Structure 1
């Protein structure tokens, strides 16, 4: 895939304008999922963070806007999106170190490093489980080429002792995530994300710790939208979620309340 030209892109605001993101007119465009992922990370100033499959840098930039003085690194297999992540870093006056590489063949320099946090928003669909997108960027972003277990295995290797993995994924992939963590990561917490009251969770955020020994915790679902059904045009996010998406607030993990 060749690099995006200016005419291929739009510029969109995230976190109420605290982050500006160049995105392709046609291709993978960030929604709220990477913003929620970034908001779930409880990092300290000076921590190192690695994102696997960073795309145009949306999660890293949202995290860096909320917590200052982080060391932010991303890996992206598609060269056009890796280049876009670098452009977005400059646009937002943030420092990102971006590697263009496949997860299964990380550069030697990166394989020698460990991070306090690893974050990931892997493709949601198993290979062959959904209709193929025509655009190559969307096809790679949505359709699994590297198995989910390998994403978690790679994350575990790159984590420093006591470091945290945060991953957002479809709820129906939770069993796969838990199986992949077995023997690699512990102190697992799962936060289901339900679109509305009385609706089943469609997404989950998994938090796991390298060397963690705490008991498994399945939290009550965090509801994204007010009401039991969509009744009007426009946004209907709950006040908690609106604070995350519009004002850069941290995601309200139940254990933090």
Structure 2
């Protein structure tokens, strides 16, 4: 079932460079997919697969930075429809496949990609959200191991898998990525200087045998506390969230 027009908002990303339709109620993209896009080191002409693409935010943020071939997989048909619409209205080509990541079409399972990106649901089983779309997006109905396994299968021999998740799951992610991917680069995300990282970005390279690397954290906001109206993003965060810059590790 498609969303009705009055159920949607048309929101600006990357300082207005990109405008995306998304539901008023349900899963709404915020900073996470933009940060995920910035973590993906795609080059012009390469292929990118986003698993669980939602309305296409992360993929289209990458495409706004560099000319790549986009494919998205999304379980929820109404979100997949919005991803296709958002790509068309942005003037970009993106193939959007409405499928379960554990049961993708054969044509897709026969392909490999230079980059695979994913933002798996953060939360385990628990009290459901009254909105099914949001619940599917944020609550782990498919195991994290299936998400990572699918990503590694679809990444080419020297492919790169980029992930954003809760910092508390970093141990699980490293265990799931090893030994099929090496050189696992970890970028903690902290709200403010000196604060514990709540989320983490990971970049794992297939075909590379190397130890994990822990980089300096990405600090999103200036100062120890919020002290003024409006956003108080750090310069680095502003470059990423407002200007679409990639993350420098």
Shared fold, TM over 0.5? yes
- TM-fit CA distance, 1:209: 0.8
Separation in 1, partners of 2:166, 2:4: 32
Q: 1:76 is matched with which residue: 59, 74, 77?
A: 74
- TM-fit CA distance, 1:231: 1.8
- TM-fit CA distance, 1:233: 2.0
* Alignment of 1:225 onto 2:221: yes
- TM-fit CA distance, 1:15: 0.7
Spell out, residue by residue over 1:154-208, the C-alpha distance to the aligned partner (whole angstroms, 9 max, x if none). 1111011111000000001111111111222111110000000110000000100
Per the alignment, residue 36 of structure 1 pairs with: 35
Q: Which runs of 5+ in 1 are unaligned?
A: none
TM-score, length basis structure 1: 0.95
The CA RMSD over aligned residues, in Å, is 0.9
Across the two proteins, how many residue pairs are aligned to each other?
A: 249
Q: Which runs of 5+ in 2 are unaligned?
A: none
Per the alignment, residue 167 of structure 1 pairs with: 163
- Give the 5 Å matches for 1:128-143: 128=126, 131-143=127-139
* Alignment of 1:88 onto 2:97: no
- Alignment check: 8 A CA contact 1:161 1:210 kept: yes
Separation in 1, partners of 2:158, 2:13: 31
Spell out, residue by residue over 1:219-246, the C-alpha distance to the aligned partner (whole angstroms, 9 max, x if none). 1211110011122221010011101111
* Alignment of 1:194 onto 2:193: no
Separation in 2, partners of 1:218, 1:250: 18
Spell out, residue by residue over 1:2-32, the C-alpha distance to the aligned partner (whole angstroms, 9 max, x if none). 2112111110110111111001111111001
TM-score, length basis structure 2: 0.98
Q: 2:206 is matched with which residue: 207, 210, 214?
A: 210
Spell out, residue by residue over 1:51-72, the C-alpha distance to the aligned partner (whole angstroms, 9 max, x if none). 000000000010000012x110
- Give the 5 Å matches for 1:38-187: 38-68=37-67, 70-128=68-126, 131-187=127-183
Deviates more, 1:210-219 or 1:160-169: 210-219
Separation in 2, partners of 1:14, 1:21: 8
- Structure 1 counterpart SS, 2:189: strand
Per the alignment, residue 15 of structure 1 pairs with: 14
Separation in 1, partners of 2:245, 2:204: 21
- Structure 2 counterpart SS, 1:56: coil
- Structure 2 counterpart SS, 1:75: strand
* Alignment of 1:24 onto 2:23: yes
- Structure 2 counterpart SS, 1:224: strand
- Structure 2 counterpart SS, 1:104: coil
Separation in 2, partners of 1:115, 1:197: 36
